[in-house]
Amino acid sequence: MFEKILINQDRLLSDIQSFGQIGALEGGGVARLALTDNDRLGRDELVRRMKALGLRVSIDPIGNIFGTRAGKTTATVMTGSHIDTVLTGGLYDGTYGVLAGLEVIAALNDARCMTEHSITVAAFTNEEGSRFQPDMLGSLVFAGGMSIEAARSTRDSAGVTLGAELDRIGYAGTGHGPEKIISYYELHIEQGPVLEDEKIQIGVVTGVQGISWTRLTVTGRSAHAGTTPMRSRVDAGLAAMELVTSLSATLKDVPDQLITCGSFRVVPDLVNVVPQRCVLTLDLRNPDEKLLLRAEECLSQTILDIETTYGVSIQTETLARFEPVPFDSCLIDRIENLARDNGYSTGRLCSGAGHDAQMIARLAPAAMIFVPSVNGLSHNIAELTLPDDLCRGTQVLLDAILSSVF
Amino acid sequence: MFEKILINQDRLLSDIQSFGQIGALEGGGVARLALTDNDRLGRDELVRRMKALGLRVSIDPIGNIFGTRAGKTTATVMTGSHIDTVLTGGLYDGTYGVLAGLEVIAALNDARCMTEHSITVAAFTNEEGSRFQPDMLGSLVFAGGMSIEAARSTRDSAGVTLGAELDRIGYAGTGHGPEKIISYYELHIEQGPVLEDEKIQIGVVTGVQGISWTRLTVTGRSAHAGTTPMRSRVDAGLAAMELVTSLSATLKDVPDQLITCGSFRVVPDLVNVVPQRCVLTLDLRNPDEKLLLRAEECLSQTILDIETTYGVSIQTETLARFEPVPFDSCLIDRIENLARDNGYSTGRLCSGAGHDAQMIARLAPAAMIFVPSVNGLSHNIAELTLPDDLCRGTQVLLDAILSSVF
């Protein structure tokens, strides 16, 4: 029997806090938008820490950073996430997964544990998509889903290309990531309230749900709110509201179906004028592609119904459409069992947000581990995961990696 | 038997068109915002026309213009409306009633008709309320509902006081309106689609409906659209939409009830964020005060229901509340009979918009005559009333005034 290798909890927590000083905001939280000077400072510190742990660092042309601890073979078990943040982000989204990967390395170093296969800790470029679109760009390029030329041509809202910024901060590398990935584990905060609400310590992530974004433009007829009888109106605002409430009711009992109307604007937006036009967005998500397709069909049917009932015309535009990504069932089972072996409570859930793991899943068996977010908050300076949860997640990550490297 | 006095149709139509040149917009329509230079040009022309018809002109301290044709007594039958417009208005809203009054005078002059009582044509200051609030300000002050000091202190959006502008354009008069008003008739375009839809030539206006404006602030909890299960959400936008659609359904069968949600804004208004807050307005109108009160009670009940169902909190603020104003039943009957005597089709309706007549109703028996608006359009450069309708309305006004001056 080997003695169980444990993470060093104090070191993990201290490493996370100290990394949070890079790009720290005055009132708390962090700003490390992709490829800004703050992102560079974060990258420099990450590379420094990787080298201090004895990792061989390689940076690929899109700026993904790979730190590898050599095993007997070059086949590698990879873990990682990202260190870029939204404009007013927290200390944990992405960064936690990368630093937990380094703690795994440190714990193995402490234990003088030599592994059969190599272990790679990765930090992917521009995961958030706050500055350059699409999000998860670095892992998408690494997985072969986007050319390096296309990625470098992407512009931020000021018109600056990603390529120019990558060159400027010195992270357009000439290296490359691992060629044979045995499996990929990503540890991440949940960014939602489910684990906390259900008192689950370790979230076993079964996949990333599918997303369907639609912009709807409802056109009616502007009219005087005082002189136009209800029967003579073609009220674009009321029709749009009925569309949203009606579709929400229809989809209420569809398993795991999410529906959000996040943006809703009426024109001319005056108290005494019946709206002439309404522009709104609908965000539909489901882990099951069949159910997501069915939700889209419900939307189409509701549009027809509303057009008939209200006399409006409705144009639609697809803003985004991603199929669900299921994770590897063996890795899912393994994470669940390892978490339970540690005595942690577990629950399976599907990720609501996108993650680098869904891109790496194109190359290798992949899975994710979630830990609870206090109040479900993320993309917010008040983002918080409690120390015990941070440690539990990292221990499961260590155990999962160890289960794959021999 | 006297011979029936008829209006001069060509003169009426020509007078309306020529007056529409004052403040004419390039693409059509008129801009004579209250107390601007364009309004002054309109006032100057109106006074010139009044004097040319032999009227004694008096301007009161709030700038209301009164032109009086003397009868044997100083008791007067008054008609009138306003010549200010919205920023991009039409040729008919208000102005038609004033110029029709002058045509009545001209027709009586042509017929050398001496009347027992006097006749006054009035043009009231700042009826539209587009520049200074409240609307119908001039007639409100004349009716004693607002002090001249308070009215002069009102500021436009640039901070300029009404008093300063009144002084600047030279229309802060020292005269006064008639002291004994026998009755008040106001001729106006409908500004809605009812007369046109129902093929009615003369609208017999029974009163002005009551108005209740409420601003609602619905507060929920912002959340990630991908990671927050439906059951964990407090969606301010969806709650607000349900409030509007539900209240609309509840009030659907209440006689003459109007409900409009004209302004609706969600915060933060992002496709993938569950709205944290929603600010919307509700415009409720009914000619019957009891029914309007009942609609307000329905709103209060719906607010409580939505708070319970969605977990949101809802604050309300009353932006405006006016009771319905019923017009004088004798005058209403008289207008209806006179219109029918001319062979015109008639229909009774309640005014959806506010008018100076509702203020003068505080001082004397008052009533209104409506003529059809093409496509129900008003406050719009495409505002139009057909020549035959303009003439029919003016003939009824002449007949109504004649019925009151002997």
The span from the CA of B367 to the CA of B392, in Å, is 17
Whether B258 and B283 have beta carbons less than 8 Å apart is answered as yes
pLDDT band at B379 (very low <50, low <70, confident <90, very high): confident
**Neighbouring C-beta atoms of residue B8, cutoff 10 Å:** 15
pTM of the model: 0.84
Tell whether the model's pLDDT for residue B119 goes beyond 90.
yes
H/E segment holding residue B298:
helix B289-310
Q: Which of B229, B262, B274 sits opposite A225 (nearest CB)?
A: B262
In sequence order, the 6+-apart residues with CB closer than 8 A to the CB of B389 are B201, B371, B372
Rg (CA), chain B: 24
Which chain B residue's Cα is nearest to A272?
B262
Residue range A301-310: average pLDDT?
98
The per-residue pLDDT for range A116-174, each reduced to its tens digit, is 999 999 999 999 988 998 899 999 999 999 999 999 999 998 999 999 999 999 999 99
Contact B194 A224 (CB under 8 A): no
Residues in chain A with CB shorter than 8 Å from the CB of B230 are 252, 257-259
The mean pLDDT of chain B is: 96
Rounded alpha-carbon distances, angstroms, from residue A405 to A117, A278, A334 = 5, 56, 14
In sequence order, the 6+-apart residues with CB closer than 8 A to the CB of B343 are none
Rounded alpha-carbon distances, angstroms, from residue B275 to A190, A243, B267, B270, B299 = 20, 17, 6, 8, 22
Which chain A residue's Cα is nearest to B193?
A228
List B189's β-bridge partners, or say none: B371
Contact B263 A266 (CB under 8 A): yes
Choose among A381, A371, A374: nearest CA to A23.
A381
pLDDT for B392 equals 98
pLDDT for A2 equals 66
The span from the CA of B361 to the CA of B359, in Å, is 5
Contact A258 B379 (CB under 8 A): no
Residues 13-72 of A with CB under 8 A from B: none
Q: Which of B226, B245, B271 sits opposite A245 (nearest CB)?
A: B245
Choose among A154, A84, A79: nearest CA to A404.
A79
Choose among A111, A138, A2, A29: nearest CA to A380.
A29
CA B85 from chain centre, in angstroms, equals: 11
H/E segment holding residue A40:
helix A37-52
Domains of chain B: 9-209+324-404 (3.40.630.10), 210-322 (3.30.70.360)
List the alpha helices (DSSP H) in A311-406.
329-341, 356-360, 387-404
The span from the CA of B39 to the CA of B62, in Å, is 14
pLDDT for B7 equals 98
In sequence order, the 6+-apart residues with CB closer than 8 A to the CB of B211 are A226, B283, B284, B285, B320, B321, B322, B354
pLDDT for B278 equals 98
Q: Which residue of B253, B271, B383 to mutate against A (max A Cβ within 10 Å)?
A: B271
> In this predicted complex, what is the ipTM?
0.84
Residue range B161-186: average pLDDT?
98
Dump the DSSP string for B176-222.
---S-EEEEEEEEE--SSHHHHTT-SEEEEEEE-EEEEEEEEEE-B-
Residues in chain B with CB shorter than 8 Å from the CB of A272 are 213, 260, 262, 283
DSSP reduced 3-state for B278: strand
Dump the DSSP string for A134-183.
SSSHHHHHHTTSS-HHHHHH-B-TTS-BHHHHHHHTT---S----S-EEE
Angle at B154 between CA B48 and CA B144, to 5 degrees: 70
Contact B262 A283 (CB under 8 A): no
Whether A371 and A187 have beta carbons less than 8 Å apart is answered as yes
Residue range B282-298: average pLDDT?
97
A209 CB within 8 Å of a chain B CB: yes
B271 CB within 8 Å of a chain A CB: yes
**Neighbouring C-beta atoms of residue A225, cutoff 10 Å:** 27
User: Which tops the pLDDT comparison, A21 or A133?
Assistant: A21
Torsion sign, CA atoms A140, A91, A120, A175: positive
Rounded alpha-carbon distances, angstroms, from residue B81 to B189, B311, B363, B377 = 11, 49, 16, 19
Longest dimension (CA), chain B: 86
Residue range A360-367: average pLDDT?
98
Whether B151 and B107 have beta carbons less than 8 Å apart is answered as no
In sequence order, the 6+-apart residues with CB closer than 8 A to the CB of A149 are none
The span from the CA of A274 to the CA of A264, in Å, is 15
pLDDT for B272 equals 87
The span from the CA of B298 to the CA of B137, in Å, is 31
Residue range B89-113: average pLDDT?
97
Residue range B190-195: average pLDDT?
94
A230 CB within 8 Å of a chain B CB: yes
The span from the CA of B283 to the CA of A142, in Å, is 56
B174 CB within 8 Å of a chain A CB: no
Copy the structure tokens of residue B270.
């992002």
Whether A67 and A121 have beta carbons less than 8 Å apart is answered as yes
pLDDT band at B385 (very low <50, low <70, confident <90, very high): very high
The span from the CA of A404 to the CA of A116, in Å, is 9
Tell whether the model's pLDDT for residue B1 goes beyond 60.
no
Residues in chain A with CB shorter than 8 Å from the CB of B211 are 226
Closest Cα in chain B, distance from residue A207 (Å) = 13
A304 CB within 8 Å of a chain B CB: no
Whether B259 and A241 have beta carbons less than 8 Å apart is answered as no
B262 CB within 8 Å of a chain A CB: yes
Rg (CA), chain A: 24
Whether A384 and A373 have beta carbons less than 8 Å apart is answered as yes
Whether A357 and A335 have beta carbons less than 8 Å apart is answered as no
Copy the structure tokens of residue B190.
């409908």
Contact A227 B191 (CB under 8 A): yes
pLDDT > 90 in chain B, percent: 93
Contact A223 B271 (CB under 8 A): no
pLDDT for A319 equals 87
Rounded alpha-carbon distances, angstroms, from residue B307 to B230, B239, B242, B313 = 16, 8, 11, 6
Copy the structure tokens of residue B186.
């106001």
Torsion sign, CA atoms B3, B9, B10, B11: positive
What residue ranges in B118-197 does DSSP mark as E strands? Answer: 118-123, 181-189
**Neighbouring C-beta atoms of residue A343, cutoff 10 Å:** 8
DSSP reduced 3-state for A109: helix
Tell whether the model's pLDDT for residue B257 goes beyond 90.
yes
**Neighbouring C-beta atoms of residue B350, cutoff 10 Å:** 23
Bond prior to A134 in cis (omega within 30° of 0): yes
pLDDT band at B202 (very low <50, low <70, confident <90, very high): very high
Choose among A33, A206, A44, A53: nearest CA to A121.
A53
CA B183 from chain centre, in angstroms, equals: 19
pLDDT band at B2 (very low <50, low <70, confident <90, very high): low
Choose among B163, B126, B155, B128: nearest CA to B142.
B126
**Neighbouring C-beta atoms of residue A301, cutoff 10 Å:** 12
pLDDT for B320 equals 86
List A216's β-bridge partners, or say none: A280, A316
Residue range B106-117: average pLDDT?
97
Which chain B residue's Cα is nearest to A273?
B262
Whether B5 and B107 have beta carbons less than 8 Å apart is answered as yes
In sequence order, the 6+-apart residues with CB closer than 8 A to the CB of B270 are A262, A263
The mean pLDDT of chain A is: 96
B283 CB within 8 Å of a chain A CB: yes
The span from the CA of B44 to the CA of B49, in Å, is 9
pLDDT for B251 equals 98
